[in-house]
């Protein structure tokens, strides 16, 4: 960074969002940017996220804890927009502590976060199983209970982090929730005939979630997380007033956004930049710069339309190259990620709904060795040409991509840290992405490692 004479503007904040279907490399970039940031906040999603950091060759996978945790001087916040499984949070904290990372004194959790409890995961899994039985297309959720937890929040009946401080209130609300959800589980979702994994089976008898084990576990966990409960909105606003640089860490990606994505094949939260304000408790005026993390090709895990999808299981194909060289396997569920060509029409939709200030292109190195590259610049839909991804899964599924073909490169870009060191054809590929999408590329990532990053213009620079 120093070679660019970079100086951070005090009080300037950056939002990091995924512009495709998630897994663009947000975690790596958040970790890299926290060399400058003093605080990192997650503002939506839950432990469906899987953000991978590689520091000096050592890999860390994070699901709930913000990707600033590997820098001891950085404070981490879980904002009110996140749905929180305390069980998973404590597991993640213990994993980091075993690796020598101090977490508890640096992590602040909003008391307003809705809780994810065992019945949310059971409903999520039972619904997907019911779809399989009915022969309808599954969403391909992570099975973590994300959707059902957001449903309880919007229905104004959720148990929240603050309820953990009030056992009687917690018990009353839990009983009401169990009555409702056990009815749905047994009557509509066939839960009594299902097999449950080791994490859920201690809570379920005859397809019904039991009050006692859920309540006892929650009360025992409450003691552990009480010291981390905080008024996150207040702390972020105070940090900002003191001149700190903050980072808002998005999870999932724009095409998984519940409003702007390929609905209904989406997650249950708003993943777009605008939600960083609502999900953290700051005003929109504090979101100064939006960095769109964008893979140099496309991937998607789970069901739903994907116009530029390639054959990715057949050896010798470009899709197989992306899947294997890019190690495209989910960080959270271990599922294979579907792979396809770069989609600039999709990116235009992302740029529009996020108000992107700049792009970070990741995994450029994965394309090394492909003889030619295709870039989707628009689609044909019902005989008409369009240049912007339509909204809605049905229309997207009918889109036929229109491609430009660009030459690939044989040289390696792995680990490059200067733009000028990239192969000429790689530079031409990046230039074409900028031209077609109209968004400038400010950062390029050339390996999983923190240090293998090319800085064109720093998001925190004045
Ligand atoms: P996130 O969910 O957006 O944080 O992304 P994930 O961590 O789920 O997936 C991105 C994967 O690509 C991780 O395994 C990263 O270590 C890896 N990665 C990130 N940037 C690069 C890059 O520039 N090159 C390569 N080869 N891998 C990268
Ligand atoms: P990160 O933050 C990729 C996908 C699931 C499924 C859909 C709905 O690592 O980019 P959910 O469990 O959220 O109800 O599943 O969303 N999905 C992700 N795909 N990366 C993620 O997170 C994802 N989080 C959810 O595969 O298609
Ligand atoms: Mg991921």
> Is position 169 annotated in a ligand binding site?
no
Per-residue confidence band for 454, with pLDDT thresholds at 50, 70 and 90: very high
Structure tokens at 271: 């993943």
Give the pLDDT confidence of 378-400 residue by residue, as tens digits.
999 999 999 999 988 999 999 99
Q: Is 383 exposed, middle or buried (0-12, 13-18, 19+ CB in 10 A)?
A: exposed
pLDDT for position 392: 84
CA 81 to ligand 3 centroid distance, Å: 18
- Maximum distance among all Cα pairs of the chain, rounded to whole angstroms: 66
> Is position 44 annotated in a ligand binding site?
no
Instruction: Find all residues with CB under 8 Å of 65, minimum gap 6, and list them.
Output: 76, 78, 89, 92, 93, 96, 103, 107
Pocket test residue of 22, 45, 52, 329 for ligand 1, highest count of atoms within 8 A of CB: 52
Mean local confidence (pLDDT), 427-454: 97
- Write down the mean pLDDT value for the chain: 96
- Cβ of 50 below 6 Å from ligand 2: yes
Pocket test residue of 267, 300, 336, 363 for ligand 2, highest count of atoms within 8 A of CB: 267
Contact between 123 and 200 (Cβ < 8 Å): no
Residue 4 has pLDDT above 90, yes or no: no
Q: Is 321 a catalytic residue?
A: no
Q: List the domain boundaries for the chain.
A: 11-98+230-453, 116-224
Q: Is 216 exposed, middle or buried (0-12, 13-18, 19+ CB in 10 A)?
A: exposed
User: Which among 13, 15, 21, 90 is positioned nearest to 49, based on CA atoms?
Assistant: 21
Contact between 48 and 302 (Cβ < 8 Å): no
Fold match between domain 11-98+230-453 and domain 116-224: no
116-224 is classed in which CATH architecture?
Answer: Orthogonal Bundle (1.10)
11-98+230-453 is classed in which CATH architecture?
Answer: Alpha-Beta Complex (3.90)
Q: Is 9 exposed, middle or buried (0-12, 13-18, 19+ CB in 10 A)?
A: middle
Contact between 113 and 161 (Cβ < 8 Å): yes
C-alpha distances out from residue 430 to 240, 250, 445, Å? 34, 24, 12
CA 448 to ligand 1 centroid distance, Å: 6
Crossing angle of helices 211-225 and 167-187, rounded to 10°:
140
Residue 82 has pLDDT above 90, yes or no: yes
Q: Which ligand is nearest to the CA of 393?
A: 2
Give the pLDDT confidence of 246-257 residue by residue, as tens digits.
999 999 999 999
> Is position 364 annotated in a ligand binding site?
yes
Residue 448 has pLDDT above 90, yes or no: yes
Cα distance from N-terminal residue to C-terminal residue, the chain: 14
């Amino acid at each position: 960074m120093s070679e660019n004479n970079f100086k951070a503007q005090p009080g300037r904040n950056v939002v990091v969002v995924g512009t495709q279907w998630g897994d663009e490399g947000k975690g790596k970039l958040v970790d890299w940017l926290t060399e400058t940031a003093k605080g990192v906040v997650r503002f939506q999603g839950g432990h469906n996220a899987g953000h991978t950091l590689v520091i000096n060759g050592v890999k860390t996978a994070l699901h709930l804890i913000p990707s600033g945790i590997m820098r001891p001087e950085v404070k981490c916040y879980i904002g009110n927009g996140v749905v929180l499984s305390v069980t998973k949070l404590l597991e993640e904290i213990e994993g980091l502590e075993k690796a020598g990372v101090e977490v508890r004194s640096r992590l602040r959790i909003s008391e307003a976060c809705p809780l994810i409890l065992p019945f949310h995961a059971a409903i999520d899994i039972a619904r997907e199983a019911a779809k399989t039985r009915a022969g309808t297309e599954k969403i391909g959720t992570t099975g973590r209970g994300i959707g059902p937890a957001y449903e309880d929040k919007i229905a104004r009946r959720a148990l929240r982090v603050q309820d953990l401080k009030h056992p009687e209130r917690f018990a009353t609300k839990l009983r009401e929730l169990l009555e409702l959800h056990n009815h749905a589980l047994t009557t509509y979702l066939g839960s009594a005939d299902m097999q449950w994994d080791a994490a859920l089976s201690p809570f379920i008898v005859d397809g019904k979630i039991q009050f006692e084990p859920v309540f006892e576990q929650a009360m025992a966990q409450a003691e552990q997380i009480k010291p981390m409960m905080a008024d996150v909105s207040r702390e972020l606003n105070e940090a900002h007033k003191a001149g700190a640089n903050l980072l808002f860490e998005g999870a999932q990606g724009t095409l998984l956004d519940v409003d702007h994505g390929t609905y209904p094949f989406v997650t249950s939260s708003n993943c777009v930049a605008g939600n960083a304000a609502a999900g953290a408790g700051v005003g929109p005026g504090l979101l100064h710069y939006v960095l769109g993390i964008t893979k140099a090709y496309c991937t998607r895990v789970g069901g739903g339309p994907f116009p530029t999808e390639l054959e990715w299981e057949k050896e010798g194909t470009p899709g197989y190259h992306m899947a294997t060289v890019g190690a495209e396997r989910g960080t959270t569920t271990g599922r294979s990620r579907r792979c396809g060509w770069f989609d600039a029409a999709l990116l235009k939709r992302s740029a529009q709904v996020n108000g992107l200030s700049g792009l970070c292109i990741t995994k450029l190195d994965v394309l090394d060795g492909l003889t030619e590259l295709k870039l989707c610049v628009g689609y044909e839909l019902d005989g008409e040409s369009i240049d912007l991804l339509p909204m809605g899964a049905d229309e997207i599924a009918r889109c036929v991509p229109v491609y430009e073909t660009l030459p690939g490169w044989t040289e390696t870009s792995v680990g490059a840290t200067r733009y000028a060191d990239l192969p000429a054809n790689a530079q031409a590929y990046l230039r074409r992405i900028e031209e077609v999408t109209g968004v400038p590329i400010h950062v390029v990532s050339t390996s999983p490692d923190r240090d293998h990053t090319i800085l064109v213009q720093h998001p925190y620079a004045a």
